[in-house]
């Protein structure tokens, strides 16, 4: 296997693990903030718990990658082709990234709705208003 690919792959693995962990932590943070905005902590508790478990899993994976010796990480990266490594990396980052994106977007939507003044039913400017 090409030595340059392995060096880049090891550095990429470290970056991917950090990015995945950061996205998981941010998803938990925004889910908690959503519970505060909506006032429905109990309703969001299961989502917060699931995201926290994902963050813990990413933290454990981060610890396992960082705590093992560089040669073991290098040996692991050598078992992948660049294409299979890219696919595995996309999956590793996609799940926490999608969770973070969803919580961030929901947070913005709920926050903007909370800041808008209440409009009496039937007076909004819609084709169905009477």
User: Looking at the domain assignment, is residue 102 inside a domain?
Assistant: yes
Quick: pLDDT tens for 23-77.
Answer: 999 999 999 998 888 888 787 888 889 889 988 888 887 787 777 777 777 887 8
Rounded Cα distance between 37 and 29, Å, is: 12
Number of helices (H) and strands (E), helices first, in the chain? 4, 0
User: Looking at the domain assignment, is residue 65 inside a domain?
Assistant: yes
- Those residues with Cβ within 8 angstroms of residue 85's Cβ, 6 or more apart along the chain or in another chain: 9, 12, 77
Give the range of the structural domain holding residue 68, as residue numbers without chain letter: 3-111
Q: Which pLDDT score is estimated for 118?
A: 59
Number of domains in the chain: 1
Q: Is 27 within 8 Å of 99 (Cβ atoms)?
A: yes
User: Looking at the domain assignment, is residue 116 inside a domain?
Assistant: no
Model-level pTM greater than 0.85?
A: no
- Those residues with Cβ within 8 angstroms of residue 44's Cβ, 6 or more apart along the chain or in another chain: 31, 32, 34, 35, 38
DSSP secondary structure, 45-60, as one string:
HHHHHHHHHHHHHHHH
């Amino acid at each position: 296997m090409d030595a340059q690919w392995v060096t880049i792959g090891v550095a990429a693995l470290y970056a991917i693990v950090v990015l995945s962990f950061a996205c998981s932590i941010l998803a938990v943070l925004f889910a908690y903030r959503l519970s505060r905005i909506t006032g429905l902590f109990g309703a969001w508790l299961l989502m917060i718990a699931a995201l926290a478990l994902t963050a813990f899993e990413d933290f454990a994976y981060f610890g396992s990658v960082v705590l093992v010796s560089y040669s073991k990480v290098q040996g692991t990266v050598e078992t992948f082709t660049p294409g299979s490594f890219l696919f595995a990396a996309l999956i590793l980052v996609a799940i926490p990234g999608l969770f973070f994106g969803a919580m961030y977007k929901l947070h913005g939507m709920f926050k903007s709705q909370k800041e808008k003044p209440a409009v009496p039913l039937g007076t909004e400017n819609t084709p169905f208003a009477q």
